[in-house]
Structure 1
Amino acid sequence: MGSRILVFLVVALIQVCTTPAVTNNDDFNALKALKDIWENVPPSWVGSDPCGSRWDGILCTNSRVTSITLASMGLKGTLSGDISNLSELQILDLSYNPELSGPLPPAIGDLKKLTSLILVSCRFSGPIPDTIGSLPQLTYLSLNSNGFTGSIPPSLGNLDKLYWLDLADNRLTGNIPVSTGTTPGLDLLVHTKHFHFGFNQLSGHIPPKLFSSGMVLIHVLLESNKLTGSIPSTLGLVKSLEVVRLDNNSLAGPVPSNINNLTSVSEMYLSNNVLTGPLPNLTGMDLLTYLDMSNNSFEATDFPPWFSTLQSLTTLLVDNPVCQETGVTERYCSVPQTESSYSTPLNNCVASLCFANQISSPNCKCAFPYTGLLKFRAPSFSNLENNTYYTVLEKSLMNSFKLHQLPVDSVNLSHPRKDSSTYLVLNLQVFPFGQDRFNRTGISSIGFVLSNQTFKPPSLFGPFFFIGDAYLNFAGEVTGSKKSSNTGVIIGAVAGGSVLLLLLLGAGLYAHRQKKRAEKATEQNNPFAQWESNMSIGGVPQLKGARNFSFEELRKYSNNFSETNDIGSGGYGNVYRGVLPTGELIAIKRAQQGSMQGGLEFKTEIELLSRVHHKNVVSLLGFCFDRGEQMLVYEFVPNGSLMESLSGKTGIRLDWVRRLKVALGAARGLAYLHELANPPIIHRDIKSSNILLDERLNAKVADFGLSKPMGDSEKGHLTHVTTQVKGTMGYMDPEYYMTQQLTEKSDVYSFGVVMLELLTGKRPIEKGKYVVREVKTALDRAKYLYNLGELLDSSIGLDTTLKGLDKFVDVALKCVEENGSDRPTMGEVVKEIENILQLAGLNPNADSASTSASYDDASKGNAKHPYIFSKDAFDYSGGFPVAKVEPL
């Protein structure tokens, strides 16, 4: 026995001393080659194991480098073709390193798994490699603010997964490429949402073929180029557009009349061209808040009366002949303000007297902030003296940093001004939390949140980009004696190795004794044992659509289920916010003891819920059945619940059009659960707090599980699923009190109550009054607004025409009929609301950011995060991929 122990110790010692590096050898050699040609690499880039020793800015999965994020690191040098050897690389962000220069290597096209290529505000030059068009997984391409020359590669049209294309602020020339019979072009990018090509030297006409009705573009930014010809009428086919910038070119002729069809556009810039003809009729653009047509040659015709009907519209007509006519208000013909003296105020403290180079934060703490410029490309306001805008932006920034658990104490915004391009520019300072300077991880994380558009500013600021400064005061980088440092490492290694050997010995003996006992217990108590067994031998389980998380993973992602990440609670238990290693936000529902099910029942639940995939239903990403815990992991929906928005808690104002779209989205989600989920699901607790709003205010139905098959007495078969939740007072189907059964029509009744909430802004039962009874009592179809004026929510926009209000009220009241047989199905409700939107002159098949053909549009690649989407199903044996970026 003693000899065996001795042999064991010797073998263990050899293994400890010869433990191989974690990092794949090809990946290490590629990073070493970059390190050799770059100056100012992070000090942690030492040794031969970037994954094992955690080089700053490097993330690995299974020994392979999958992400490089080195924003604002002060790197100097070029990008060599060695980068192509990182065959598993998915994210490359080298933004805000202005000393990175030279051409991009064509070999970058060999990174076939790359999803995000972000090189904002460096000094790269030369042509954009054609080979970028051969990156099949690329979703985010941001090369803006460099010195690229030559033409836009037509090969970019091959990037059929691309959502974000930003080539602005370079020196690109030539025509905008469109496809021919033999070459691709940008017109093929039908899934792309952003064309940002401003501040280049592009010339020629805007090709009519560039735009088509099948596109989902929301931003077309072509400002400050050398474009000629007319505005193509095909632009009016892209109904999803929200921001259009064609200013500072040489476009001529009249504005196409079908531009009026762009009912989702909020900002449109046509200034500084040579446009002629009468002022366009834009009466159909109900959401338009900023229109700049200054410095053109529009005819001096009668002033369009529709200008005054859009009270929130800022219109600029400076230097047009129409401004010379009498009776034209100065409001439209005066030069707007260009700067403000705003600076973030101190938070009830006295500014500190700081040492050299330190700056006092709004919380009066001396520190070295991370600095840069925020540039907003299409703000919807011109009054720069309204400080409310900036305080809202500050809160939005801090909320984003907190959501991502970044070490930020406060932010300072200062000196808002409009530059020559009418961009709104603000100085930004980000102050560290808990110390006077950031470490490298903090800076690269903040830089990535701003460079890949994870931060979503308030909509009135429009699209933005950030130009970060190099950060030179990193924490914990004081260099000591090399000799003493090495001695310490040796002593530590010896001591650590000895302890490790003892632990290995004890653990091995204990594990051997417990092995069979543990295996037997697992088989008896864990219904997921077969899945886990398959995973351990590399097999793929049959179940797709959800991931099996361990307890340790979810504890790590939620910061040990910390109080700061506790975002709600209910009958099932608490809900925690979490952040995956990819940056994707998740919501973790952790069951409390009294609400747990048996293992087999819980497994059945997961199998059922994992089949639900629809853009208007909150997606189940995974689950945890570990250490006696039952947890469900859902996508995180950032803008809270409809109830919170209606109550004013979120600061989101829902006008009439937005409320119609929220109602349609929620109806589509619920109709999908009833009619197309497999098996169909009855929600049983529809209410405004269970309808969540994503970053574009699209509605998502939540809390439809846990669920169980209905028995024969309930439905006569087992094809429908109903949740265990028993409903909420005020939303409950009256028939339930007699039958003690909830059906699809019970959900319809609850949805009708939600529709009345959308109308009134009131809770179902408020101050002893029941909203259904209040509406029915006041209703008089012969009177204006059905005699509901005093009940309607004032923020709905009572000073505007509420198109379709009567039809909406009629549908809501059909839903809350006393007898279930008199209520419509949710499919019928969807069709009714679609008709209402059409009567209101709106496109029911387009929300504020994307197009959905019908309520049965099962989502594939849904947004799981404001700017990130992932696969619609995950194998249990697989891990989460590095996030694919979907800017909106």
Structure 2
Amino acid sequence: MVFPQRLYLHALLVACCCVLLLADAQRTHPSEVTALRSVKRSLLDPKDYLRNWNRGDPCRSNWTGVICFNEIGTDDYLHVRELLLMNMNLSGTLSPELQKLAHLEILDFMWNNISGSIPNEIGQISSLVLLLLNGNKLSGTLPSELGYLSNLNRFQIDENNITGPIPKSFSNLKKVKHLHFNNNSLTGQIPVELSNLTNIFHVLLDNNKLSGNLPPQLSALPNLQILQLDNNNFSGSDIPASYGNFSNILKLSLRNCSLKGALPDFSKIRHLKYLDLSWNELTGPIPSSNFSKDVTTINLSNNILNGSIPQSFSDLPLLQMLLLKNNMLSGSVPDSLWKNISFPKKARLLLDLRNNSLSRVQGDLTPPQNVTLRLDGNLICTNGSISNANLFCESKGKEWISLPNNSTNSALDCPPLACPTPDFYEYSPASPLRCFCAAPLRIGYRLKSPSFSYFPPYIDQFGEYVTDFLQMEPYQLWIDSYQWEKGPRLRMYLKLFPKVNETYTRTFNESEVLRIRGIFASWRFPGSDLFGPYELLNFTLQGPYSYVNFNSERKGVSWRRLAAITAGAVVTAVAISAVVAALLLRRYSKHEREISRRRSSSKASLLNSGIRGFSFKELAEATDDFSSSTLVGRGGYGKVYRGVLSDNTVAAIKRADEGSLQGEKEFLNEIELLSRLHHRNLVSLIGYCDEESEQMLVYEFMSNGTLRDWLSGSNSQ
């Protein structure tokens, strides 16, 4: 019987349609697609990093920088979880449409050239955890609406041109741990309301134009570890006495802030490591009470301090810098400053006491070689009280810390040119296997506020800190170079090498690259008393890693949920198909047969005429994925690319814009018409592509320019 066969086929058809509808539901929410397209329109992308944002679905087509949740939401759509556009040379502005990314957790535009103001609409993305806008050219004021981001953990806008006050509404950021607002032009007083941020760890406000009084209430913050306010103008303000009562502060830096008054007693701060109050107008003596035994740096230079050097400075085993120059200190210099210290490996100590009124040395003036003592500008250098004054009283004009540029290959005696592709492969310098050649991952990394002044004693500890959390062996990390920058901040260039194993694998696999990069980019490293907050400057993928796509992780729908929904769809399809099959088949079967006959006839006719049907993949490969370097023209219909087909034929590939697409019937009719046109002055049609929502025509390539060029004379010889 014919009809039961049709009914069976229809049931199968409906079931397939349900599954296709399910697959269609595995797409990004339409409002988020709209938002991403708006983001792209607002940006200038000179290196064409976002070229694949013109087609397909963001979550299913691996749009550059777009990371989605791994399951569809309750609304049967995929949602964007992370927008990672760091270090892509982007300019332009930030689109207010970002607010439509309602499930976004990470917004990362670091190290671009984006200008304009921060849209206040970003304050509506309540799911946001990381807001990373540092290293751009943003201007304008901070929107008070950003105080609505109740889940925000890290807020970075440093190294921009942002002006105006810090909104009081930021006191609502109850979960925030990091406020990095340094290197802008912020004005006004630090809001007292920030003392409500009980979870805050790091407050970096240095290099702004802040003024007014320092809020004493900040000292009550229970978890604050770093308060860095250098180079602001708190003119006439005293340092609040309560600043000696911070419970967990590790680093307090108030350099060049126009502060007056006396020094607080810092002896109650149990784990203070770094204190910089230089370049102020502080008066009175230095408190004689003991500092924390963890302190590495004390900088009180360029003030108006008087009295003597406290004996308590002689009992600081980890001290690297004691800077007291350009004050009014008098009395003696105790030799216990260097005698009582048992220097650890690679340790150095700088004692800069220049330009005071110190008159003598108490004890033996023979500091060890790893101590640099500067006494010029004191009475001690002119009154004849020391015989070797020339060693300590003459400025030699050299830095006390030398910062070597380590080279991964300099210390290795390995055969030259034995590594393949030297630009990408090199010898792993610390590998247990001698002359092990591998391709490292290259990482730009910066410590934003370290709690030390001299890095070599902490290099091994830093290596363990990084490799332990990455679950790697210490020899896999190599610090290729490092240098101090203003702040002070410590910039590094790291290399991570693959682990030596039985197969001598020279590269990391893709999943390992994604794992490592995810840890760096998501700030998942544990907090460190010494190394403080860090920032990722770049994560370079080249050579054998250039194929890695960060968007390939966390995509699609979980198989368990997909199987359950698919099974339900099939059962439902079979149940309803018996009811609707007869009506649908009677009404549409004749019509569908006619359409099918016409389509088959059209395509068969084209094939018989020598017109070739190309797949989208073939034409994408021919044009280097429709790279801008292969673009040769543009018209009202779309863009034209120069491509090289698989048989080495050079072709002009005309790709229709989305707004120029036709129905399949009209498109095939047009191709059939063009296939009949033959003239020695007309380029011939080679073939076409009609798949993946694309319509393309493939012509012979005219290598000597366009008809317009010849008519206008621009191609005349």
Q: Normalised by the size of structure 2, how large is the TM-score?
A: 0.58
1:422 pairs with 488, 491, 514, which one? 488
**1:59 counterpart residue number:** 68
1:305 aligns with 2:371: no
Contact 1:393 1:458 in 2 (8 A): no
Aligned positions of 1:314-329 closer than 5 A: 314-321=320-327, 325-329=331-335
1:118 pairs with 132, 137, 140, which one? 132
**2:116 counterpart residue number:** 102
Q: Does the residue aligned with 1:217 lie in a helix, a strand or coil?
A: coil
Contact 2:195 2:221 in 1 (8 A): no
Distance 1:462 1:412 in 2: 20
Aligned positions of 1:371-520 closer than 5 A: 371-382=443-454, 384=455, 386=456, 389-402=458-471, 410-429=476-495, 449-450=519-520, 452-456=522-526, 459-468=529-538, 475=545
Distance 1:457 1:194 in 2: 11
Distance 1:272 1:418 in 2: 20
1:144 aligns with 2:158: yes
CA gap 1:238/1:323 in 2 versus in 1, 3 angstroms:
closer
Distance 2:132 2:167 in 1: 17
User: What is the CA deviation profile of residues 607-645 of structure 1, one whole-angstrom value per residue up to 9, with x for unaligned ones?
Assistant: xxxxxxxxxxxxxxxxxxxxxxxxxxxxxxxxxxxxxxx
**1:220 counterpart residue number:** 227
CA gap 1:42/1:392 in 2 versus in 1, 3 angstroms:
farther
Aligned positions of 1:542-561 closer than 5 A: none
**2:597 counterpart residue number:** none
Distance 1:341 1:282 in 2: 37
CA gap 1:464/1:114 in 2 versus in 1, 3 angstroms:
closer
Distance 2:544 2:108 in 1: 19
Distance 2:99 2:29 in 1: 14
Distance 2:529 2:412 in 1: 29
CA gap 1:461/1:113 in 2 versus in 1, 3 angstroms:
closer
CA gap 1:477/1:242 in 2 versus in 1, 3 angstroms:
closer
2:285 pairs with 249, 256, 278, which one? 278
How many equivalent residue pairs?
Answer: 472
Aligned positions of 1:325-336 closer than 5 A: 325-329=331-335, 332-333=351-352, 334=373
1:82 aligns with 2:88: no
2:147 pairs with 127, 130, 133, which one? 133
Distance 1:359 1:253 in 2: 58
Distance 1:5 1:124 in 2: 63
Aligned residue identity for 1:424: L
1:253 aligns with 2:268: no
CA gap 1:213/1:163 in 2 versus in 1, 3 angstroms:
same
**2:242 counterpart residue number:** 234
- Residue 168 of structure 1 deviates from its aligned partner by 1.4
Q: Does the residue aligned with 1:299 lie in a helix, a strand or coil?
A: strand
- Residue 298 of structure 1 deviates from its aligned partner by 1.8
- Runs (5+) with no aligned partner, structure 1: 179-184, 479-499, 513-888
CA gap 1:151/1:508 in 2 versus in 1, 3 angstroms:
closer
User: What is the CA deviation profile of residues 178-236 of structure 1, one whole-angstrom value per residue up to 9, with x for unaligned ones?
Assistant: 2xxxxxx3222223222111222222331334x25354212111123233321112223
Contact 1:123 1:147 in 2 (8 A): yes
Distance 1:109 1:227 in 2: 30
- Residue 471 of structure 1 deviates from its aligned partner by 6.3
CA gap 1:361/1:59 in 2 versus in 1, 3 angstroms:
farther
Report % sequence identity: 26
1:350 aligns with 2:364: no
Contact 2:252 2:275 in 1 (8 A): yes
**2:706 counterpart residue number:** none
- Residue 52 of structure 1 deviates from its aligned partner by 3.0
**2:403 counterpart residue number:** 340
**2:211 counterpart residue number:** 203
CA gap 1:508/1:444 in 2 versus in 1, 3 angstroms:
closer
Aligned residue identity for 1:7: H
Distance 1:389 1:127 in 2: 39
When structure 1 is superposed on structure 2, of 241-250 and 348-357 the one drifting more is 348-357
Contact 1:438 1:473 in 2 (8 A): no
**2:251 counterpart residue number:** 243
- Residue 237 of structure 1 deviates from its aligned partner by 3.5
- Residue 280 of structure 1 deviates from its aligned partner by 2.1
Distance 1:400 1:352 in 2: 34
Contact 2:53 2:64 in 1 (8 A): yes
Contact 1:377 1:422 in 2 (8 A): yes
Aligned residue identity for 2:100: N
Distance 1:351 1:401 in 2: 31
**1:712 counterpart residue number:** none
User: What is the CA deviation profile of residues 446-485 of structure 1, one whole-angstrom value per residue up to 9, with x for unaligned ones?
Assistant: 566345532247643344334337767795669xxxxxxx
Distance 2:226 2:302 in 1: 23
Q: Normalised by the size of structure 1, how large is the TM-score?
A: 0.47
Q: Does the residue aligned with 2:179 lie in a helix, a strand or coil?
A: strand
- Runs (5+) with no aligned partner, structure 2: 339-350, 353-372, 375-398, 430-435, 500-504, 549-561, 575-717
Distance 2:146 2:136 in 1: 18
CA gap 1:393/1:43 in 2 versus in 1, 3 angstroms:
farther
Distance 2:151 2:475 in 1: 36
1:20 aligns with 2:34: no
Contact 2:285 2:307 in 1 (8 A): yes
Contact 1:71 1:443 in 2 (8 A): no
**2:675 counterpart residue number:** none
CA gap 1:359/1:164 in 2 versus in 1, 3 angstroms:
same
2:180 pairs with 142, 152, 166, which one? 166
**1:29 counterpart residue number:** 34
- Residue 295 of structure 1 deviates from its aligned partner by 2.6
Distance 2:522 2:227 in 1: 18
Distance 2:514 2:234 in 1: 37
Q: Does the residue aligned with 1:68 lie in a helix, a strand or coil?
A: strand
Contact 1:340 1:416 in 2 (8 A): yes
Aligned residue identity for 1:413: I
1:68 pairs with 83, 96, 108, which one? 83
**1:748 counterpart residue number:** none
**2:428 counterpart residue number:** 362
Distance 2:29 2:512 in 1: 26
Q: Does the residue aligned with 1:260 lie in a helix, a strand or coil?
A: coil
Aligned residue identity for 2:24: P
Aligned alpha-carbon RMSD (Å): 4.0
- Residue 111 of structure 1 deviates from its aligned partner by 1.0
Distance 1:390 1:221 in 2: 24
Q: Does the residue aligned with 1:374 lie in a helix, a strand or coil?
A: strand
Aligned positions of 1:725-736 closer than 5 A: none
Distance 1:508 1:278 in 2: 84
CA gap 1:367/1:284 in 2 versus in 1, 3 angstroms:
closer
- Residue 389 of structure 1 deviates from its aligned partner by 2.5
